[in-house]
Structure 1
Amino acid sequence: MQPTIYDVAKQAGVSIATVSKVVNNKGRIGEQTKKKVIAIMKELNYQPNAFAAALTGKSTQTIGVIIPDLANPYFAELAKCLEDEAHKMGFSLMICSTDNNSEKEETYINLFIRKKVDGCILASTLSNPQLVTELAIQYMPVVLAGQAILEKDLPAVSVHDQQGGYIATTHLTALGHQRIAIIMEPKAFSSLERLKGYKKALKEAGLIYDENLVMTADATLTGGADAFRLFVDMEQPPTAIFACNDVLAIGVCQEAHRASIHIPDELSIIGFDNTILASVTSPPLTTVAQPLREMSRQMITTLLTSSNEKRGNQQFVFEPQLVNRQSTAKLN
């Protein structure tokens, strides 16, 4: 079998990152370590680009997918859409969930290399984007899902997050709300973009941006509930909350019910993603939808139709849409 970067790292007693730096002649590496890695590469007859060439001759009909959390309904639905689209083209998926752990990201990329998958879709938040994409691009085509800003040299498929944040906040200002809070995921590029849209909508409505109305929370029901309690304890609590994903929004809804705060009469709530949970909550959640089916089709098509070199840094950005349900209402 053709040796991989994993085999070189193991025999040399160094990390995969170190081997990658030697291969790409990047980063600081001790001369002794560099010579050792090069010697092992020669001994194993390791060719960094050999697998890419081999893809043209033999396919495993398998695509690797890395996501941060399968328990999050958005990523579960994304995985389902990707599986459907891949199946239409005769491919199967190998899905790995990282829990936003950089070591897991590296482990799974390495697994894909050893399993010789035909390509990789990275939907993870990428704790270490440079390392992960460097390792992947040496061996297989790669498409990023929603991470265009992190790695300019790879194609990416995403929703227009800033526009989504603008749509959500504009919906609330049109209903007469002036104290509008936002709950974001920490360090998430998508949330930062949605915050920009939130600020733009406030400015257009003549409202002042108040940092006290901005909270960060993990994308869990508990995260949404914790943020809600902090807002409620304010001297002037918000009358509306924009949560940057549906899970956070539903956490807010649940905690509001426990606090006997009626939605939407006393508090309007809007989410983002339009997951299946949004339509079954009580009341059904107003949210911003991502066209997951179309985005998934673009990811699979882009991955399978050309090489990394030909695809370059293509960016496919899809427009979000407001789904107006019953968790938002005019301010009384």
Structure 2
Amino acid sequence: MNIYDISRAAGVSIASVSRVMNGAGNVSEKTKQKVMAAIEATNYRPNAYARALGSGSMKTIGIMCSDSTDIYLANAIYYLETALRKKGYHSILCCTGYDLKNKKASLDLLRSQQVDAVIMAGSKYVELEPRNNQYIIEAAKHFPIMLINGAIEAENVYATVCDDGYGTKEAVGKLCGSGCREFIYIYSSDSLSGRNKLAGLSAGCRECGIGSASFRVVQSGKNYRDVAETLEREYRERPFDAVITSSDTTGVGAVKFALRRGLSIPEELSIVSFNNSILAESTVPELTSIDSRLKELCDRTVRSLMKLLDPGEGESTVPKCTVLRPRIVARETTRF
């Protein structure tokens, strides 16, 4: 059973059936009743492609994320799908991993599914080598692309970002004000967001008069056990009294290190993590964390996208880049 069968059963044109299914106003009540009666009699369920014939929209948004096991990205997916569902849109999720080839393949797949737009969650979709972003720019010629916590200057590409550098700069200032003097920043991977965090840390150290000898930057594995081991090696080399981490997962590793070392938190060691996820409240002691305002990033992304997809709103009403400032949520791992 398809739209052609409904057309024959109702004795009306295919265009009339399409208009009824898509809620168009220019259909007589008599025609509408004929079509609805035929649909009910045949138990017909129009598929997405049939609906798209009349509306010009699949009412489907592609979502790309690099790693759905990451708590930040898992939350982003939930917030996005919830917001899209409220607007009457479905979503197709692609977990791409970090390999550029797989990212390109996933974007091609979503394009073949005739999605109305694509949302890319996480700064890992902005490649540090600009020429590697060309596949995004090319795809944006066909539908809007929304970036969460990443930005590319291109037509039909829109960004909603957290000012990560502002957050880490504020963290340095508050730690310094509470008496900390030997800092270490630990992260797991290189990204646009990570570089912004590092720039904020450097700015904070300059403002507080913390020299390079008292500020270390180290990379570790993503697993909290790797973080704890890395911090142990660094502490044996030279003790520190403040740890800033690139995520709450890394922050858990810092707490593990302190407990194994027998360091009192926050008297001997202060810790500030990033993202303010449920992990920050699940540790003992609870982590002071920089709230990246992820839910608001996702909600604003969907609101902007709806304006782009609604011809009545007009594209000019959507800013190319929306920036939100993070805020520090003080808990038990600092003396703020």
2:180 to 177, 181, 190: 177
Structure 1 residue 223, shift from structure 2 partner: 4.3
Determine which structure has greater relative contact order: mean sequence separation of CA pairs < 8 Å that are 6+ residues apart, divided by chain length.
1
Alpha-carbon separation, structure 2, partners of 1:293 and 1:103 = 29
Match of 2:232 among 229, 232, 239: 229
Shift of 1:212: 6.4
Larger Rg: 2
- 1:55–1:147 CA distance, 2 compared to 1 (3 A): farther
Partner of 1:256: 258
Unpaired runs of at least 5, structure 2: 1-51
Q: Distance in 1 between matches of 2:59 and 2:272?
A: 40
SS where residue 212 of structure 2 aligns? coil
Q: Name the residue aligned to 1:294.
A: 296
Following superposition of structure 1 onto structure 2, how do residues 1-332 of structure 1 map, counting pairs within 5 Å? 57-124=55-122, 125-126=124-125, 127=127, 129-148=132-151, 150-153=152-155, 154-210=157-213, 213-234=216-237, 236-306=238-308, 310=315, 314-329=320-335
Distance (whole Å) between structure 1 residues aligned to residue 73 and residue 145 of structure 2: 18
Distance 1:320 1:123, change over 3 A: same
Counterpart CA distance in 2 for 1:180 and 1:163 is: 17
Relative to structure 1, the CA distance from residue 166 to residue 152 in structure 2 (aligned partners, 3 Å threshold; closer, same or farther) is farther
Change (3 A) 1:147 1:211: farther
- Contact 2:161–2:323 (Cα < 8 Å) also in 1: yes
- Identity, in percent, stands at 25
Q: Would the aligned equivalents of 1:168 and 1:287 in 2 still touch at CA under 8 Å? A: no
Question: Which residue identity is paired with 1:193?
Answer: N
Q: TM-score, normalised by structure 2?
A: 0.75
Call closer, same or farther: CA 1:102–1:226 in 2, change over 3 Å.
farther
| Counterparts of 2:154 and 2:197, CA distance in 1 | 20
3-state SS of paired residue (2:185): strand
Give the superposition deviation at 1:260.
Answer: 3.0
Residues 41-78 of structure 1 show CA distances to partners (whole Å, capped at 9, x for unaligned) of xxxxxxxxxxxxx8994222211111121111111111
Residue 195 of structure 1 and its aligned partner are, at CA, apart by 1.3
Cα separation, partners in 2 of 1:93 and 1:220, compared to 1, 3 Å: farther
Q: Residues 65 and 95 of structure 2 are in contact (CA less than 8 Å); yes or no, is this contact kept in structure 1?
A: yes
Q: CA deviation at 1:250?
A: 1.0
Distance 1:89 1:253 in 2: 41
In structure 2, do the counterparts of structure 1 residues 206 and 319 end up closer, same or farther at CA, with 3 Å as the change threshold?
same
Q: Distance in 1 between matches of 2:200 and 2:212?
A: 12
For residues 127-153 of structure 1, give each alpha carbon's deviation from its aligned partner in whole angstroms, at most 9, with x where no partner exists. Answer: 4752331342132210111111x4454
Letter of the aligned partner of 1:244 in structure 2?
Answer: S
Whole-angstrom distance in 2 between the partners of 1:225 and 1:133: 37
User: Counterpart of 1:28?
Assistant: none
Q: How many corresponding residue pairs?
A: 275
TM-score by length of 1: 0.76
Q: Which residue of 2 aligns with 1:3?
A: none
* Structure 1 unmatched ranges of 5 or more: 1-53
Deviation at 1:211, TM superposition (A): 8.1
> CA RMSD for the aligned pairs?
2.5
Distance of aligned partners of 1:264 and 1:250 in 2 relative to their CA distance in 1, 3 Å threshold:
same
CA distance in 2, matches of 1:147, 1:278: 24
State the secondary structure of the residue aligned to 1:274.
Answer: coil
Identify which range, 299-308 or 189-198, moves more after superposition.
299-308
**What secondary structure, in the 3-state scheme, does the structure 1 residue paired with 2:274 have?**
coil
Contact in 2 for aligned 1:213/1:238 (Cα 8 Å) = no
Does the Cα contact within 8 Å between 2:242 and 2:269 map onto a contact in 1? yes
- Is the CA contact 1:224–1:247 (under 8 Å) kept in the aligned structure 2? no
